[in-house]
Amino acid sequence: MHETGVLNGKIAVVTGAGTGIGRAIARTFANEGATLLLNGRRREPLEAVRKEIEEAGGTAHIHQGDVSSQADAQALVDAAKTTLGRLDVLVNNAGKSYDALILRMKWDALDEALAVNLKSVFYLCSAAGKVMLAQKSGAIVNVSSVVALGGNAGQSAYVAAKAGVLGLTKSLAQEFGSRGIRVNAIAPGFIETDMTSVLPEAVQTTYRSRIPLGRFGAAEEVARTALFLASDSASYITGQTLAVDGGLTMR
């Protein structure tokens, strides 16, 4: 941990922190001085991330729960306030991909897609917003997806939920801005995670050919973008979406 890190002394909550992009964000924030509250549905991956952070000299706590439940989302924010005293940064990273053509969609799967990828963000932004409004400070970073910018056949439920996150981000930036709270979003492209590693090599090659930089991104590259948006370096940026996608969706 850097004593002069850009998040030194800050309290940060990261959801979906046990794997992939969430893990990278948690480690990056801790390395820059933040005290972390790690959230996810499974405890074992969270324990592994906490161990990594502590071995690197950082500080992390765990609050297991399912933030697609309003009660669990509220409990997570309450834990940050009660245990750590405040909440400076919220990263809404929890999410789950759903693949189904609309003509074959199961409506309970639609409900789950919206709950995990969109309603959880509503719940947490509402709960965290109350704390941050009282503090008159805070930063919220919502992790969406590049598919929210251009759509994707066979993922309409996931796309609609992630696009909803972008609209919510802009609305909350307007609602919270007068109290000094910034709300931004990240739209990751094809990032090297467990989700992309299972794609057949031919499919990966096809996707890479569409990316101007010619490669998939690393989770750490998304994490550094989240760090920027959470830090004072982005003090005059709110309501924006940064695509971290190697140029895939440039317009």
Residues annotated catalytic, as ranges? 158
Residues in Cβ contact with 228 at an 8 Å cutoff, skipping those fewer than 6 apart: 234
Residue showing tokens 């850009």: 6
The alpha carbon of 116 is separated from its chain's Cα centroid by a whole number of angstroms, namely 12
In DSSP terms, 183 is beta-bridged to: 140
214 phi/psi in degrees, rounded to 5: 75, 15
Q: Are 20 and 48 in contact (CB under 8 A)?
A: no
